[in-house]
Amino acid sequence: MNRTTAVALIAAGIVGIAGGTVSAVVRGEDTGTTPSPVSSRTPKATPKVTSKVTPSASPSATSTSSPSAVAEPGPAETNEPLLYAKGGKIHDGTRVVAFPKGRVQRLARAGDGWLVATSASVEDFVTFNLWWLTDSTPARRLAEVSSWDPDADGRRVAAYDVNAGQVKVWSLPTTKVTGVYATEGSPVLTPGFAGHDVLISQDIGTQIDLVRWNPDTGHSKIIGIGYDALSLSPGGSYLTGAVGPEGASGDTNPCLHLESTYLKKHHVSWKTCDWRVDSSPTRFSPDGTRLIAIPADSDGFGPGEFGIIDASDGPRKLVATVKAPALTLGAEWADNDHLYLYGSNNEDTASGGMWIKRCDLEGQCTPVATAKGNLTVGSGL
């Protein structure tokens, strides 16, 4: 998944994420600063541990692999500049492209262009119009979608077309539909690429099924009980989501569950009820070996801290905890050992303005951008 780090903040409310960016949208005059390019670097061999707690609900190891984290297949880490949208334009390093199709809510790099999501209506921040454009080609609308995910190469995107009631795969840059999965009336919560295939979290009413679908052949099969808030690692080797303490999805007090996909030779599965997934889908680090989570008892305006958990085949230890500044709303990965924390200057985000900071796992943060207008900031992963 060639995801970007993301959150959507609309006026005074927070909207769920799919396919993502950091999107700070606040009513008022636009005084946002222009983010400077950010360099990524190789993760530290031994990140500083601010907590030595191992998730207590994690079972014993289910794999004989070495505890050391081994990067999964996926996009290589690069020195990419920040990607953001402001004032009707998309900025990606030295590339600036006009986007006149509406207020940008989500943004992701895809091949030599960008996938852009705008609200489907003024009142609706649950579904989005999904567009694709490049420097030289105008924006082309794909569909009205509720969730979407580019593949690791940025050559395809899978999304749930809410009007057709189907999961579709589009080829980029042609924007032609190359695969269709009919949901038979059961809404899709999330589609996500696992290698070539697409894993689909589908609500069938009595439970959430996890479906593996080959968009070329059309073959599909149920591979297990699905997860609320399904998210796949960049190379598709792992998935995570929210399940109840007894394993059923949809529980009011969900636990964090990680499981390997068919791409892994040795099956990996563990669960912890001390931590849970946050509202953003970009929970895995770019190399797929770390997972960002929040304490299970987090509530209120935003989490007070973020836990970084070893998501490899190893011991699933808590690698670090990052304390959050006041009025932090969430966090996303900047690279394998840096986070973007985002928040508000005031509980009334419509008047207080937004901030974004880049933080290491030791809690040292550097301001990246502020805005009192429409500012959508992302980082290519």
Q: What pLDDT score does 176 carry? A: 96
Q: What pLDDT score does 273 carry? A: 86
Average pLDDT by consecutive 10-residue portion of the chain (381 residues)?
A: 34 31 35 37 33 36 37 49 79 89 85 90 75 94 92 92 94 95 82 93 83 95 82 88 63 77 89 79 82 82 84 80 86 84 69 78 86 60 44
Q: Where are the alpha helices (DSSP H) in the chain?
A: 349-352
Q: What pLDDT score does 172 carry? A: 94
Write b or e for each residue in 245-269: b if 16 or more Cβ atoms lie within 10 A of its Cβ, otherwise e.
eeeebeeeebbbbbbbbebbeeebe
Q: What pLDDT score does 307 carry? A: 92
CA 250 – CA 254 distance, rounded (Å): 7
Residues 6+ apart with CB under 8 A from 123: none
Q: What pLDDT score does 156 carry? A: 95
Q: What pLDDT score does 31 carry? A: 36
Instruction: Give yes or no for a contact between 317 and 291, defined as CB atoms under 8 angstroms apart.
Output: no
